[in-house]
Each structure stands twice: as structure tokens, then as C-alpha cells.
Amino acid sequence: LYPNMLKPLDLGFTVLKNRVIMGSMHTGLEEAENGFERMAAFFAERARGGVSLIVTGGFGPNIRAATHEHTKMLRSEEDCVGHRIVTEAVHAEDGKICLQILHTGRYAFNENPIAPSAIRAPINAFTPEAASVDQIEEQIQDFVRTAVLAQKAGYDGVEIMGSEGYFINQFLAKRTNQREDEWGGDYANRMRLPVDIVRRVREATGENFIIIYRLSMLDLVEGGSSFDEVMTLGKAVEKAGATIINTGIGWHEARIPTIATKVPRAAFTWVTAKFREGLTVPVITSNRINTPEVAEEVLARGDADMVSMARPFLADSDFIIKAAAGRSDEINTCIGCNQACLDHIFSGKLTSCLVNPRACHETELTISPTNARKNIAVVGAGPAGLAFACTAAERGHSVTLFDAASEIGGQFNIAKQVPGKEEFNETIRYFSKRLEVTGVQTKLGVKVDQQALNEGNFDEVALATGIVPRMPPIAGIDHPKVMSYLDVIRDGKAVGKKVAIIGAGGIGFDVAEFLTHDSDASTNIQTFMREWGVDMSMQARGGIEGMKAELGEPSREVYLLQRKASKVGNGLGKTTGWIHRTGLQKKGVNMIPGCEYLKIDDAGLHIRVGNEESVLDVDNIIICAGQESLTELSEGLSMPYHLIGGAHLATELDAKRAIDQGTRVAATI
């Protein structure tokens, strides 16, 4: 099974037990109360699950270099005490762990960032100070000090973060480095900083310490590195003493998706493959590798020596042991949604995972065997009902799951049909296997009523009956042109060439995507790169300079309307909203905020925006104006019940809340 993925890698002074590292993620546990204990539990669970090497989230080498002013650091012998809790916990599980040193440079969210030149980043409000020569020396010393302390704290190595547009990357690229001294100008000067850092960290930590250098192989910004420069840097970093080189793709300010669910699996391993040809140290590839099959394929093809998976280890800590035991179908697969990980981090919340609410909550959300076995009915096999049923059954309860539909998944069956959301299939696959493993009795195609529940000898009931789409009170809403999103996506009803969508929340965006999408960009790497204007021949600087995005003519004319006056798509995910907006804009979708719906008739949809009235002469009007909870079963039940998921709250369809709530309620009954 997976011979390439599970093959050990001998680094000379130490052996990694397989070819998978858990990629760096700053989760917010670093700064949380009892953060070290919680990080220890989080990482130890992953080490127990078989990953060969873990990289921590980024830690700043000094306060100006850290992401925030309150970011945790490793600056003194005293700080080692906390870190030792983490390293000891990982070692106790036969794992290895490296500390990532991340200097944010001009990306720091504090008032006085420091960078090669005083050029503000488009994604930051603060303009950095250009570092003096002495200050550059101090930054290097701080990298070295952090590495030495990491070694003292028991880490097996460090990862030096040189990609994603952070400090080191800022020195490398002309875009951000306009210095005229020995740290700027030609490439030999611009790459002096990373090479010096690696060399001096190696000198200070000795031979038997892992140094991973995360190298930006494709900047995806104008004025980024050329591929020749990337190769030159790779060779220099290797010579300076790096043990392993890891792949970084895209600066944070880049406007090309690199990790969202729309990005095809393993979309960027061709870059690492090209890079690897010129090097001798092991090379790691990264981004959107989320199943053992994909990891194996990437390694078998020789694209890299190792793969990094970050979010897949939020989704499932036991990824490796399940794969090794031939139980890949039990893996909870990362769907690349970013809704509970990256979106949380960028809004100051603790990371978790939409498909696994225990991620980063290991000490707080425990699922332990029950000592009072109950007979439980769950009505509705959508995300909330599935999470509840499996968790309750895993704890030892006797669980029967009913759904009127002939398949499990609820609204996930709608989501999975939206182009770019194919990954939702994996969540349904995971749950169908987990129902089997945990022994839930599943009764599909069965519509239960109160009587059946009351007579069924159940101690408790979980009502996860979901929602119905809300029909807004617009004159003419019964017109044959009008459809609900379920008509369109679930039932595949024919839709005309000119369409108005009422409601621009997540579902409105999904429907617009569904109606305008006619390529395989979310599964075909070549199409994806063509549509986003990425050069696969390695000629363009930064991978994009001078490139044009190539898209076919849109197949439909679509209006995406909302009542609110704010920007259309404002409520979408913090780290993915721009991708959805840009994608639809490229397809010519007209987004109209502040829209009042007057009436619907044969002429189309009559609207008023400000004082202007107009008629959109559309063939169809699709309603995505929210939904209402289905709760009628709750009346007249003779036993305690729990309302979960959309049946509990229907404001927006929210799988993250549904799975979290289903799991938490089931963990406590």
C-alpha cells in the first residue's frame, strides 16, 4: 500500500518514517490560554496518527517581525519551558517536530513593520520602515537565536519561512526590494539574506539538526522571482546547509487562488518537479494534496521526495495510519473550504475544521464512551444529522438515522454539484463509511412522523430535518419564470440564457457559478492555469508577468442581485470571497446591490435601484433568498429532543455550524 508515501527517508543523522510532513499552520493555539498544553494535544494526536514530521505554525523571531503585537515568540531560555511541553508530547508519540520561524516583514499587522524598502503591501494598512544595515544584521541574529532556542526546547529542527511574500521573500523580489546597497540590486545581493540566515543557523545548531527552507517557487505577483532566480536560490540554500527544501506557492497579496477548493488537487507539484531536477537535497511539494492516492501519485511521478499536507491534518489526525491499514475510505478528507481554518485565523478566531470540529479543540471537545447507553433516533441525514449520529454511535449509543431521501448528505448533495465544490463528495463518502463503522442503523427513503417516533421506543430524538427555501413576497412570485435553487441544482430544470438571481449569499453565488461554468478548471490543472493566466513553461517572471487569463465566452447572461447596499459577496468567506467574486466577474456576471424587487411578469423582473426603475428581461428568476427551519416534528414528541443544524437555525446554510453542533450535542448526551 502506498509504497512511495510510506517509504522512510534517511537524512543521514535521522530517519523520517514516511514521506509526509504536516505543513505549518498558525492556528491561534499559540496565543490561547493553556496554549502549549493545547498545542501539545493537537500535535501529539497527529504524531500518533503516523505523520513523520510536523512543522509548527510560524513564530516571529522578534516582536516587529511577528504577525501581531501579541504573537507568541521563542526569545529566551524561559520561553523554552512552554515549548518543551509540545516537543515532549510529540516525541512521546514517536513523532518529530520543527519550529517554523516566520518573519512577516511588511505583512506585520503592527504599526512599525520592517522591510527591505518602505513600500506598503496592498493587503496591509501599515507602511514598513526600510531596514538599516544594522537592523538587517539584528534580524539575522534573531533568526539564529530562535533556532538555537528551538534546539534547546527539544525541536528536531526549524523551518525558515522564505515564501508567501514574507520578509525573506521581500528581499528576493524587485517588487519589494529597491535597495541600492549590498542587500539590494542584482540577484546575488537580493538573495544574500536567506543564504546568510541558513548558513548562520546551520553554524549555530550543528550538523544534526533539521533545517527546512520554505522557498517561494512561484510568486504569482508582478515583479516576483524568475524561475532562473528560484533555481539559483535553491542551489545556494542547499550549499548553505539546508537539509530539505519545501515549496511555497504565491504571495498573500497574489490574486490567483492557491489553496481554495476550486484549485485542482496537487495543482502546483509541476513547479516542485521542475525545481527538483537541479538539486540534491530532498524537496517537499505542497498545496491541495488531500488523499493518499494523490500523495502517492505525486511521489511516484517523482515530482518531489516528500509531500506536505497542512489542512488535511486538521480534517483527520489519523490520515497516515488509516492509509497504511488499507482504510483510506475512512479518512475525513480536507475539502479545501477554508471556512474554519484560514477564515478563522484571519478574523482573530481559533482555527478549527469544518469537517472535523475537534481540530485544535482536542482538550475541550472529547468524545468518550457513554456509560448510559440510550436508544436514539436521528431524523435527517444532512451534515448535522450525520455528525450527530456517528458521534453518538461511536460513544456506544444505539442510533437509528432516518431520512426521507434515498441518499445521505442533505444539502451537501446540492453543494457537490456546484463546479469547484466536487470535494463535498468526499465528505459524503466519509460519513457513509463512518455510519457503517460506528454501527448506525440507517433507514433511507423513510419519512418518519411523530407517531412513529413516539412508538419507536426511543429515549431521545435529534431533529436534523433541515430547511425549506424561503420564497420572498414579491408580486408575481408564482410566475412560471420563477424557480428555487433546488429546481436548478437538485432537479436539473432547464434554465434560459438570461437569468436573474435574487439573493447574493453563498447559495446565490453557487447558482451563478453553476449557470456560468462550462470548463473543467477545478479538476484540470492545465485549464485552471490557463483560466487564471499562470505560465506553465516557467518563462514568465513570478509565473504571471505578461500573461493573460484565457476564458471562453460566458454561456449565459446572469444578474446577481441583493437588497443590501453593501458590496455583493461581502458576507462570503474572508479568504475565499474574492475568488468567487473575481471568478464571476470574469464571466461577465452583473452584480447589483441595493436592489428593490417590484414585480415579476412576462416582461421579466422589475427592479428599482436608487431612484431608477428598470426591467431585466430575463428568461428565469432564481430565488436564493434564504431558508426557513423545518421543525414541525418537534411538536407532540413524548421524549426529549434536540434541534440541530438548519432545523435549529436557518439564517444561512452553514455546514460548519451544523457539523460542530451535531458533534457537540452528541458528545454530551
Binding of ligand FMN at residue 24 (CB under 6 A)? yes
**Residue 56 C-beta: closest distance to ligand FMN, Å:** 8
Binding of ligand FMN at residue 580 (CB under 6 A)? no
- How far apart (Å, rounded) are the C-alpha atoms in residues 82 and 89? 11
Contact pattern from residue 93 through residue 112 relative to ligand FMN, giving x for each residue in contact according to CB under 6 A and a dash for the rest:
-------x-x----------
CB-wise, 72 or 276, nearer to ligand FMN? Answer: 72
**Window of 280-288, 383-391, 465-473, 478-486 that interacts with ligand FMN by CB under 6 A:** 280-288
Number of chain positions touching ligand FMN (CB under 6 A): 24
User: Please, which of residues 57-86 interact with ligand FMN by CB under 6 A?
Assistant: 57-58
Contact with ligand FMN (CB under 6 A) among 46, 192, 202, 288 = 288
Q: State how beta strands 612-616 and 604-609 pair.
A: antiparallel
Determine how many CB atoms are found less than 10 A away from the CB of residue 10.
9
Q: In what order do the strands lie in the sheet with 595-601?
A: 595-601, 604-609, 612-616
Helix, strand, or coil here: 659? helix
CB-wise, 226 or 290, nearer to ligand FMN? Answer: 290
CB-wise, 28 or 505, nearer to ligand FMN? Answer: 28
The residue with cell 539584528 is: 138
Binding of ligand FMN at residue 311 (CB under 6 A)? yes
Helix, strand, or coil here: 134? helix
**Window of 19-27, 107-115, 139-147, 268-276 that interacts with ligand FMN by CB under 6 A:** 19-27
Binding of ligand FMN at residue 351 (CB under 6 A)? yes
- How far apart (Å, rounded) are the C-alpha atoms in residues 577 and 506? 9
- Is 166 annotated as catalytic? yes
Q: For residue 193, what are the contacts with CB-CB under 8 A and spacing of at least 6?
A: 136, 140, 168, 171, 172, 183
CB-wise, 59 or 514, nearer to ligand FMN? Answer: 59
CB-wise, 89 or 259, nearer to ligand FMN? Answer: 259
Binding of ligand FMN at residue 243 (CB under 6 A)? no
**Residue 366 C-beta: closest distance to ligand FMN, Å:** 22
**Residue 107 C-beta: closest distance to ligand FMN, Å:** 11
Q: For residue 587, what are the contacts with CB-CB under 8 A and spacing of at least 6?
A: 516, 517, 551, 554, 558
Give the residue ranges of DSSP H helices in 316-462.
Answer: 319-324, 342-345, 383-394, 412-415, 424-438, 450-454
**Residue 349 C-beta: closest distance to ligand FMN, Å:** 10
Calculate Rg over the CA atoms of the chain. Answer: 26
Binding of ligand FMN at residue 214 (CB under 6 A)? yes
As given in the structure block, the three cell numbers for residue 588 are 461577465
CB-wise, 335 or 669, nearer to ligand FMN? Answer: 335
CB-wise, 139 or 286, nearer to ligand FMN? Answer: 286
CB-wise, 27 or 516, nearer to ligand FMN? Answer: 27
Q: State how beta strands 627-629 and 467-469 pair.
A: antiparallel
Nearest to 645 by CA among 625, 666, 624: 666
User: Please, which of residues 289-308 interact with ligand FMN by CB under 6 A?
Assistant: 289
Binding of ligand FMN at residue 259 (CB under 6 A)? yes
Q: What are phi and psi of 311, to 5 degrees?
A: -60, -35
Binding of ligand FMN at residue 345 (CB under 6 A)? yes
DSSP element (H, E) containing 190 = helix 187-190
CB-wise, 161 or 667, nearer to ligand FMN? Answer: 161
Q: Are 548 and 453 in contact (CB under 8 A)?
A: no
- How far apart (Å, rounded) are the C-alpha atoms in residues 144 and 139? 9
Contact with ligand FMN (CB under 6 A) among 169, 216, 269, 287 = 287
**Window of 21-29, 190-198, 526-534, 661-669 that interacts with ligand FMN by CB under 6 A:** 21-29
Binding of ligand FMN at residue 606 (CB under 6 A)? no
Binding of ligand FMN at residue 53 (CB under 6 A)? no
CB-wise, 345 or 428, nearer to ligand FMN? Answer: 345
As given in the structure block, the three cell numbers for residue 650 are 436557518
Binding of ligand FMN at residue 572 (CB under 6 A)? no
Binding of ligand FMN at residue 342 (CB under 6 A)? yes
Q: Are 108 and 129 in contact (CB under 8 A)?
A: no
DSSP element (H, E) containing 46 = helix 35-48
Q: Are 298 and 5 in contact (CB under 8 A)?
A: no
SS (H, E, C) 438-502: HCCEEEECCCCCHHHHHCCCCCEEEECCCEEECCCCCECCCCCCEEEHHHHHHCCCCCCCEEEEE
**Window of 23-31, 73-81, 292-300, 430-438 that interacts with ligand FMN by CB under 6 A:** 23-31
Binding of ligand FMN at residue 216 (CB under 6 A)? no
Contact with ligand FMN (CB under 6 A) among 6, 23, 140, 380 = 23
User: Please, which of residues 135-164 interact with ligand FMN by CB under 6 A?
Assistant: 161
Q: Are 345 and 26 in contact (CB under 8 A)?
A: yes
Q: For residue 493, what are the contacts with CB-CB under 8 A and spacing of at least 6?
A: 483, 487
**Residue 324 C-beta: closest distance to ligand FMN, Å:** 19
Point out the catalytic residue in the list 155, 166, 559, 641. 166
Binding of ligand FMN at residue 309 (CB under 6 A)? yes
Binding of ligand FMN at residue 656 (CB under 6 A)? no
How far from the centroid of its chain's Cα atoms is residue 400's Cα? Answer: 33
**Residue 341 C-beta: closest distance to ligand FMN, Å:** 4
Residues within the interface to ligand FMN (CB under 6 A):
23-27, 57-58, 100, 102, 161, 214, 259, 286-289, 309-312, 341-342, 345, 351
Provide the annotated active-site residues. 166
